[in-house]
Structure 1
């Protein structure tokens, strides 16, 4: 065997080794990544963040792109890939909820105080207990807040940079998931609440801005930075 033949053989082996090594780090096709994301979302009892899915997927995968592609694929189907805060979940299409009505079980009813407290926090978060009491006009019992936290609809937020550094309360991803919201920006405004009969058409002075006030719907819109409340 000539030296040229030996060199060609060695070169061929090196190329094969390089190709094998490259294949070890080559990301799976996007369709396969979609299947991985789909399996994780289907099996999980809670919404999953893209980072959590990315950590479980092989090297080179892009969980965010796979979720986006899967979400498009599920559009118009019986189940959808929906965003819940900063996470993702597979949920029944909203227009088919009537088919599952018999499966719903009401475990407990919230008191009026709990409903009002939850609404105040949802629209004005982060709120301290004193701020909740100021808006309601009455004191808030510890049991009311404890009940909402046990249901995992409220959680502690950042402490206020005020004397005493009081704790604040914010709504959770569980709250968003239960009410089918992506973020608290999807909460209904004044017009929707009045149209649904949940508010008087002419609220008492001091409770909400009157119709003459410009941008009345903005009064109940959440702050622009409140999405930051939902950390990983």
Structure 2
């Protein structure tokens, strides 16, 4: 099969998918002998600069509207369920410090974490249980998911803004807080 035919098949699979797919999921649907990675690379190049782009979010692939055209598709909707401040803080801690245990989240936040807060993040699909730590009690860890990366338009956790970026954006308004904030720079 030619590379063009393989790219065409992968294109059809991704367009028909209701959610982003991993390379392995794409490979399962292709005939034997196809190279999904090469087809994805070919498609990614083909869609650069077009109205839709092929994007990777963690281990998954999907077609998304080009960033400069998103305003054409924006529509105002009423958000039925907003994250609480505790939910936002917990999500940020998992994103920047993950994999992280519940105890570590509580140490960073300085208050106990409600089970409902973590349950809500898991229900949204932005956080999942990670590996258990090989320490006494074998505590579970929490990590962000590909759905989190996809929702926030990130290719990997390394794309999260660092402390300098947040300060420059004005998100950290109180200078006293800025000095003591335990926010590591993402690894590149």
TM-score (norm 1): 0.76
Whether the aligned pair in 1 keeps the contact of 2:15 and 2:63 (CA below 8 Å) is yes
Whether the aligned pair in 1 keeps the contact of 2:108 and 2:182 (CA below 8 Å) is no
1:173 aligns with 2:120: no
1:153 aligns with 2:116: no
Deviation of the 1:75 alpha carbon: 0.4
- Aligned residues: CA RMSD: 1.7
DSSP-derived class of the 1:102 partner: coil
Unpaired segments of 5 or more residues in structure 2?
A: none
Show the counterpart of 1:12.
none
Runs of 4+ in 1 over 6 A off after TM superposition: none
Aligned residues: 187
Whether the aligned pair in 2 keeps the contact of 1:194 and 1:201 (CA below 8 Å) is no
Higher strand share: 2
Which of structures 1 and 2 has the bigger CA Rg?
Answer: 1
Deviation of the 1:100 alpha carbon: 1.3
1:207 aligns with 2:172: no
Using the alignment, how far apart are the partners of 1:105 and 1:95 within structure 2?
24
Residue among 66, 70, 88 paired with 2:39? 66
Unpaired segments of 5 or more residues in structure 1?
A: 1-27, 210-218, 225-232
Deviations 1:9-43 (A, max 9, x none): xxxxxxxxxxxxxxxxxxx1111111100011111
Using the alignment, how far apart are the partners of 1:65 and 1:184 within structure 2?
24
Which is further off, 43-52 or 162-171?
43-52
